[in-house]
Amino acid sequence: MSNSLPNMLENTIAKIRDMVDVNSVVGDPITTPDGVTIIPISKVSVGFGGGGSDFVSKNVNKQENPFGGGAGGGVKISPIAFLIVKDGSVRMLPVAAPANTTADRVVEMVPDVLDKVAAFIDSHTAKKEH
């Protein structure tokens, strides 16, 4: 068997390794003029594959059979959150995918609606106490 297939896979993996490093997952910090530091966090998905075959040579004098094959790979980097560092405290701000359905939009609105209802009840209760 030829060594071409393992070499192709090694080269593909090396190229993917060159494209994706730790800075692909945890990005470089960005500092704003007012002292807030923002650190992007991403999800990295990697896929690769390859295949090949040795063919029987028609030339009797050749010691190796011809090889045919290929390899390929891909990388997908998706932002998932930002770490916000301000005045010694750290907060995570997730990057949400847009809502695709009406039900998703309703679920996203529930916390805001609950906050508004709670604020209304609090203000109404405060008026009654005075």
DSSP for 15-32, written as a single string? HHHHH--HHHHBPPPEE-
Q: Are 88 and 66 found together in one domain?
A: yes
Q: Does residue 104 share a domain with residue 90?
A: no
Where residue 38 falls among pLDDT bands split at 50, 70, 90?
very high
Q: Is the pLDDT of residue 130 over 60?
A: yes
pLDDT for the residue numbered 98: 66
pLDDT of 1:
44
- pLDDT of res. 112: 78
The number of domains in the chain is 2
Based on the domain organization, do 12 and 49 belong to the same domain? yes
CA distance linking residue 33 with residue 22, whole number of Å: 26
Range with top average pLDDT, 16-20, 46-50, 104-108:
46-50
% of the chain beyond a pLDDT of 90: 6
Q: Which domain holds residue 129?
A: 97-130
At 46-96, the pLDDT tens digits run 787 777 777 776 766 666 667 777 777 777 888 889 999 998 888 988 887
Looking at the fold, whether 36 and 9 belong to one and the same domain comes out as yes
SS3 125: helix
Cβ neighbours of residue 91 closer than 8 Å, sequence gap 6 or more: 83, 84
Q: Are residues 22 and 72 in the same domain?
A: yes
Q: Which residue shows structure tokens 């007012």? A: 34
